[in-house]
């Protein structure tokens, strides 16, 4: 019988060795040996499913992949050395020259840069739809369109996209739906349940949750993953066994960590809503979020990211960041340590003013990745920083 999410996250393990270890060992090996000539031939002919070389597969990556597949309800997956390696390899394995992608406008900065700076070289085109206008999608679909691509919640605006609606459009037009589920984690949202074909994660964020590693994974339909596997075993973006081991251990505590992240984030969002120096606050599980009902339908809780606007724009924003004591000024998210970021001057500074406006990034916008410190200390630091900048 299928076990519950938390149990699968803990009990999915590769086979024990003769030592009967309780926690899976780390297989720091680049290759694996064959018993004889026939074993070698049959392994390479893929008549046998076994480890050959760690660029193709490794027991630690296999354990990590199997866990994420169970968590996301996916048939198969491949693990990558970073979230961007997963994003790039998924596109590279599935798209050809002349193909076209319809993507949400609000996507991770480096994914946007792939579309705009590199894909034109390989004659892969993209069109963006505005996140609040999914009805634009059908108008953008052409005969060469192979894929709809989106993230939900988005970064840094924490807007919610209707995954079931995206999936209906993809099915109707016979194209793939690929979702970057990094902000939600499989614990809060499983896009395959709503009809996505593939789900991508940056394991660097909440999956590891402790800011130690870069990692990525793509899971979903078996035939599509096979194409991604065949590309990746040659191109070589594979996850290292050590990082795979860390990730697999981190997933054992994903549910309890993410529960606390969400509890703290909601408390921080509620505090910000009452503060006079704050223009607006956005968090998927705040009643004031424009897609609160949709968020409730798709997600178990709101995630770790809260965004808000400081009154007084850029100047007040600089004062706020300089006054922060406990929280970290950093570009990451999904860490046990709370992090504050200023998208307009960091992650989204390469965008023009009008591009920034289109993605809803204003000068005074702050993104907080709410961590696992005691929530009172997080709020105390935010309160004193808000007080000192206005
Ligand atoms: C961080 C992130 C990525 C990229 O992941 P890396 O591990 O940094 O390469 C992709 N998508 C989203 C939504 C992210 O937050």
pLDDT of the residue at 2 = 81
Cα distance between residue 315 and residue 322, in whole Å: 11
pLDDT of the residue at 383 = 97
How distant, in Å, are the alpha carbons of 80, 83, 151, 236, 347 from that of 233?
11, 17, 26, 6, 31
**Nearest-5° Cα angle at 207, 206 to 211:** 65
| Residue 138 Cα to ligand 1 middle (Å) | 27
Under a CB-based contact definition with an 8 Å cutoff, are residues 216 and 86 in contact?
yes
Residues 56-87 have pLDDT tens digits of: 999 999 999 999 999 999 999 999 999 999 99
Please confirm whether the linkage preceding 156 is cis (ω < 30° from 0). Answer: yes
**Domain limits of the chain?**
5-251, 254-388
Tell me the mean pLDDT in the region 33-37.
95
Which of 181, 205, 206 best tests ligand 1's pocket when mutated (most atoms within 8 Å of CB)? 205
The overall average pLDDT reported for the chain is 95
**Nearest-5° Cα angle at 346, 342 to 347:** 100
| Residue 137 Cα to ligand 1 middle (Å) | 24
Residues 300-336 have pLDDT tens digits of: 999 999 999 999 888 888 899 999 999 999 989 999 9
pLDDT of the residue at 171 = 97
pLDDT of the residue at 190 = 98
pLDDT of the residue at 362 = 85
pLDDT band at 359 (very low <50, low <70, confident <90, very high): confident
Q: Specify the range with the lowest mean pLDDT, choosing from 152-156, 173-177, 200-204, 227-231.
A: 152-156
**What class does CATH assign to 5-251?**
alpha beta
Residues 201-240 have pLDDT tens digits of: 999 999 999 999 999 999 999 999 999 999 999 999 999 9
Quote the percentage of the chain above a pLDDT of 90: 87
pLDDT band at 353 (very low <50, low <70, confident <90, very high): confident
* pLDDT above 60 for 355: yes
- Pocket residues: Cβ below 6 A from ligand 1: 82-84, 87, 108, 151, 155, 180, 182-183, 202, 204-205, 214, 216
Nearest CA to ligand 1 atom 2: 202
pLDDT of the residue at 248 = 98
Residues 338-351 have pLDDT tens digits of: 999 988 888 777 77
Ligand 1 atom nearest to CA at 84: 9
pLDDT of the residue at 296 = 98
pLDDT of the residue at 390 = 65
pLDDT of the residue at 132 = 85
Residues 90-149 have pLDDT tens digits of: 999 999 999 999 999 999 989 999 999 999 999 999 999 998 888 899 999 999 999 999
Tell me the mean pLDDT in the region 157-172.
96
Higher-pLDDT residue of 89, 316: 89
pTM for the model stands at 0.96
pLDDT of the residue at 1 = 57
Under a CB-based contact definition with an 8 Å cutoff, are residues 378 and 338 in contact?
yes
pLDDT band at 358 (very low <50, low <70, confident <90, very high): confident
Residues 262-273 have pLDDT tens digits of: 999 999 999 999
Which of 88, 91, 110 best tests ligand 1's pocket when mutated (most atoms within 8 Å of CB)? 110
Ligand 1 atom nearest to CA at 85: 9
Tell me the mean pLDDT in the region 147-163.
96
pLDDT of the residue at 387 = 93
* Torsion angle, alpha carbons of 107, 110, 112, 116, to 10: 180
254-388 classified as CATH 3.40.50.300: no
């Amino acid at each position: 019988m299928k076990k519950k999410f938390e149990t699968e996250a803990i009990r999915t393990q590769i086979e024990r060795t003769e030592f009967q270890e309780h926690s899976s060992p780390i297989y720091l090996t680049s290759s694996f040996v064959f018993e004889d000539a026939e074993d070698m031939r049959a392994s390479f002919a893929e008549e046998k499913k076994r480890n050959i070389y760690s660029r193709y597969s490794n027991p630690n990556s296999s354990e990590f992949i199997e866990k994420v597949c169970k968590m996301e309800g996916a048939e198969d997956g491949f693990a990558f050395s970073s979230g961007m390696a997963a994003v790039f390899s998924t596109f590279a394995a599935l798209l050809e020259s002349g193909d076209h992608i319809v993507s949400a406008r609000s996507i991770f900065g480096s994914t946007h840069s792939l579309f705009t700076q590199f894909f034109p070289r390989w004659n892969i085109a993209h069109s963006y739809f505005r996140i609040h206008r999914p009805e634009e999608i059908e108008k953008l679909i052409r005969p060469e369109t192979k894929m709809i691509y989106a993230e939900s919640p988005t970064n840094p605006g924490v807007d919610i996209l209707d995954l079931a609606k995206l999936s209906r459009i993809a099915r109707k037009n016979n194209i793939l739906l690929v979702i970057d589920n990094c902000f939600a984690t499989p614990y809060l949202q499983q896009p395959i349940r709503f009809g996505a074909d593939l789900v991508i994660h940056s394991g660097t964020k909440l999956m590891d949750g402790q800011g130690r590693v870069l990692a990525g994974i793509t899971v979903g339909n078996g035939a599509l993953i096979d194409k991604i596997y065949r590309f990746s075993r040659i191109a070589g973006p594979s996850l290292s066994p050590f990082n795979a081991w860390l990730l697999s251990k981190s997933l054992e505590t994903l549910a309890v960590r993410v529960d606390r992240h969400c509890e703290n984030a909601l408390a921080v969002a509620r505090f910000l809503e009452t503060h006079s120096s704050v223009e607006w606050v956005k968090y998927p599980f705040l009643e004031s979020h424009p897609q609160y009902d949709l968020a409730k339908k798709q997600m178990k809780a709101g995630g770790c990211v809260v965004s808000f606007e400081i009154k007084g724009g850029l100047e007040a924003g600089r004062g706020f960041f300089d006054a922060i004591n406990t929280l970290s000024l950093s570009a990451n998210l999904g860490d046990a340590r709370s992090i504050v970021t200023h998208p307009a001057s960091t992650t989204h500074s390469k965008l023009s003013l009008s591009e920034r406006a289109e993605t809803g990034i204003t000068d005074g916008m702050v993104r907080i990745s709410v961590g696992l410190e005691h929530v009172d200390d997080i709020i105390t630091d935010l309160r004193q920083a808000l007080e000192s900048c206005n």
